[in-house]
């Protein structure tokens, strides 16, 4: 078993060097490793297990909403990409292109999908004929590739896993409503599964998806006050339907174009929850996605009856549906404590001769670092269930409190700069023009994350003209 004493000292400087802490944590807790191709990551079993739990929870929500899974090809003809003008302009700089296959140069280059609007649009064009075919609502779980210039595990990698949902509706109102419904679905998921508060709202023109009419996003606040775009939904209007001939005959017999929308979240969510909940000791995983929810560490394992008692407890908890691990390795208890704390397991149960004799068990809560030894072994199931629930609630409450304390209002450019320098989200008025948005980026290195539904500000934080939108500005990953 690989030991890593360096880790403890290296993560100690979390306050001064947060991104380094982040990288150390994801690599050294064996979530990921770097791939041989620059900018790619290998997701190891422990990290992938988190993704599987995210998939399971999201998939259940999609199914309940009436969305079905499908799969579309990885390779997209170059000509598809160029059909929607804004789309190709937005993605051209970051696509990887296959030019050769089967030992020969291809007649038409193929792009490795950076997103699948084009190829799905192409298929929708074939599948949609009548108003009876609508709405058509699909989702696919897949990988995509975007050749990014700078990368960081989970937060931005050249290849990443995600889910992309795509729907066609007969009317723009329905497609727009679905765009907002999916945003709400994501928000609920972030809260109840990732225990992560988010800000949601519409994106500015500058920040919207290439080819969309409107983009909505959910933004999460990381430890250091920077924002992470954690999910997006897009209303495309008829842009893609027209580019790919997604037409149907309506009830009135008239041939018309459909209205499309799409939405996606990626493995970046794993990065988001690491940076939202983690501390100097490593990960803190929300119970709903933790690959191991309870780890049992035997104390004095060689003494008679200890391993047997641990095994029996494991069986009882597993039977209740908890993801439980018994660490019966040869390592010392102290080593195991640190190992599983680093990996973010929500609850640790220590069971030794003294506990067994008194019919009790010692529980340790990863998020609060509280340890108590008064818990009755006979009530293990209910104790664990209750504590997991509490951990989830407390994680959310703590993160929400931090986010709300770090939202400040700004009336001037100077206040905006002070706000983001202090690691805050800054709420400010904006006149709606691109020049002012660009200026914010220049003087504060901050971008417009999302806009509030209602404008409550009086004037633009940059130019002083009347405010059209109230915007959350922040530095972003």
Partner RNA sequence: CGAGGCGUAGCGCAGUUUGGUAGCGCGCUUGGUUCGGGACCAAGAGGUCGUGGGUUCAAAUCCCGUCGCCUCGACCA
Chain positions contacting RNA, by CB under 7 A: 1-8, 19, 38, 90, 93-94, 146, 148-152, 155-158, 160, 162, 209, 217, 229-232, 264-268, 299-300, 302, 330-335, 337-339, 341-342, 350-355, 362, 364, 371, 373, 441-442, 445, 476
Phi-psi region of 369 (alpha: psi -120 to 50; beta: other; left: phi over 0): left
Cα 271-43-320 angle, rounded to 5 deg: 80
Angle at 145 between CA 141 and CA 149, to 5 degrees: 140
Select 57 or 133, whichever has its Cβ closest to RNA: 57
Q: Which of 134/296 has CB closer to RNA?
A: 296
Q: In the block, which residue shows the tokens 């969305």? A: 67
Residue with smaller CB distance to RNA, 55 or 256: 55
Please count the other Cβ atoms lying within 10 Å of the Cβ belonging to residue 204: 18
> How near is the Cβ of 14 to RNA at its closest, in Å?
14
Pick the closer one to RNA by CB: 353 or 464: 353
3-state secondary structure of 230: strand
Residue 414, phi then psi, degrees to nearest 5? -65, -45
Beta carbon nearer to RNA, 211 or 258:
211
What is the 3-state secondary structure of 64-95?
HHCCEECCCCCEEEHHHHCCCHHHHHHHHHHC
- For residues 212 and 403, which CB has a smaller minimum distance to RNA in the complex? 212
SS3 297: strand
Burial group, residue 102, by CB count within 10 angstroms (0-12, 13-18, 19+): exposed
Query: Which residue, 297 or 457, is less far from RNA as judged by CB?
Result: 297
Q: What are phi and psi of 77, to 5 degrees?
A: -55, 135
Tell me the closest approach of the beta carbon of residue 249 to RNA, in angstroms: 35
Nearer Cβ to RNA, position 19 or 464?
A: 19
Q: Given the complex with RNA, which of 204 and 293 has the nearer CB atom?
A: 204
Residue 128 or 273 with smaller CB distance to RNA: 273
Beta strands 425-430 and 407-410 are parallel
* Residue closest to 471 by CA, chosen among 427, 441, 420, 425: 427
Q: How far is the CB of 211 from RNA (least distance, A)?
A: 11
* Residue 29: how many other CB atoms lie within 10 Å: 21
In the complex, the smallest distance separating the C-beta of residue 238 from RNA, rounded to whole angstroms, is: 21
Please tell me whether residue 236 adopts helix, strand or coil conformation.
strand
- 300 three-class SS: coil
Q: How far is the CB of 364 from RNA (least distance, A)?
A: 5
Cα–Cα nearest to 157, from 169, 171, 145, 174 = 145
Nearer to RNA, 357 or 454 (CB): 357
Burial (CB < 10 A; 0-12, 13-18, 19+), residue 2, is: exposed
> How far apart are alpha carbons 105 and 109 in whole angstroms?
9
Smallest separation, CB 47 to RNA (Å): 14
Q: Which is nearer to RNA, 92 or 407 (CB)?
A: 92
Parallel, antiparallel, or unpaired for β 104-112 and 136-145?
unpaired
Cβ at position 177, least distance to RNA in Å = 22
Q: How many helices (H) and strands (E) does the chain have?
A: 15, 23
459 alpha carbon, distance to own chain's centre: 34
Q: Give least dist CB 36 to RNA, A.
A: 10
Q: Which pair of tokens denotes residue 352?
A: 């030794």
Whether 369 and 346 have beta carbons less than 8 Å apart is answered as no
């Amino acid at each position: 078993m690989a030991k890593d004493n360096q880790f403890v000292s290296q993560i100690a400087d979390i306050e001064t060097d947060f991104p380094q802490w982040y990288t150390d944590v994801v690599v050294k807790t064996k979530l990921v490793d770097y791939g041989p191709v620059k900018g790619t990551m290998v997701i190891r079993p422990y990290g992938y297990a988190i993704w599987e739990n995210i998939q399971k929870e999201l998939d259940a929500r999609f199914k309940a909403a009436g969305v079905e899974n499908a799969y579309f090809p990885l390779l997209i003809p170059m000509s598809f990409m160029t059909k929607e003008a804004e789309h190709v302009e937005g993605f051209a700089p970051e696509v990887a292109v296959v030019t050769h296959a089967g030992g020969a140069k291809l007649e038409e280059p193929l792009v490795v999908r950076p997103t699948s609007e084009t190829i799905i649009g192409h298929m929708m064009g074939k599948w949609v004929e009548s108003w009876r075919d609508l709405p058509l609502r699909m989702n696919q779980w897949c990988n995509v590739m975007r050749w990014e210039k700078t990368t960081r595990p989970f937060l931005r990698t050249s290849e990443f896993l995600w889910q992309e949902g795509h729907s066609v509706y007969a009317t723009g109102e329905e497609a727009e409503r679905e765009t907002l419904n999916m945003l709400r679905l994501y928000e609920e998921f972030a809260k109840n599964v990732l225990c992560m508060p988010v800000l949601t709202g519409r994106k500015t023109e500058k920040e919207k998806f290439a080819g969309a009419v409107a983009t909505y996003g959910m933004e999460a606040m990381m430890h250091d006050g920077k924002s992470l775009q954690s999910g997006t939904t897009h209303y495309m209007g008829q842009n893609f339907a027209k580019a790919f001939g997604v037409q149907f005959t309506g009830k009135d017999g008239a041939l018309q174009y459909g209205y499309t929308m799409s939405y996606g979240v990626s493995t970046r969510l794993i990065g988001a929850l690491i940076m939202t909940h983690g501390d100097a000791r490593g990960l803190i995983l929300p119970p709903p996605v933790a690959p191991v929810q309870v780890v049992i560490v035997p104390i004095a394992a060689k003494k008679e009856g200890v391993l047997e008692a641990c095994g029996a407890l494991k069986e009882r908890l597993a039977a209740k549906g908890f993801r439980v691990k018994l660490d019966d390795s040869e390592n010392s208890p102290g080593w195991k404590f640190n190992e599983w704390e680093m990996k973010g397991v929500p609850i640790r149960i220590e069971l030794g001769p003294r506990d067994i004799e008194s019919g009790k068990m010692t529980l340790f809560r990863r998020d609060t670092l509280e340890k108590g030894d008064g818990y009755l072994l006979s009530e293990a199931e209910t104790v664990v269930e209750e504590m997991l629930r509490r951990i989830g609630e407390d994680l959310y409450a703590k993160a929400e409190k931090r986010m709300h304390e770090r939202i400040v209002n700004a009336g001037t450019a100077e206040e905006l700069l002070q706000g983001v320098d202090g690691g805050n989200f800054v709420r400010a008025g904006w006149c709606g023009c691109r020049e002012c948005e660009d200026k914010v980026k220049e003087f504060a290195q901050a971008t417009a994350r999302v806009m509030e539904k209602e404008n409550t500000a009086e004037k633009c934080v940059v130019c002083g003209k009347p405010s059209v939108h109230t915007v959350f500005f922040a530095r972003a990953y």
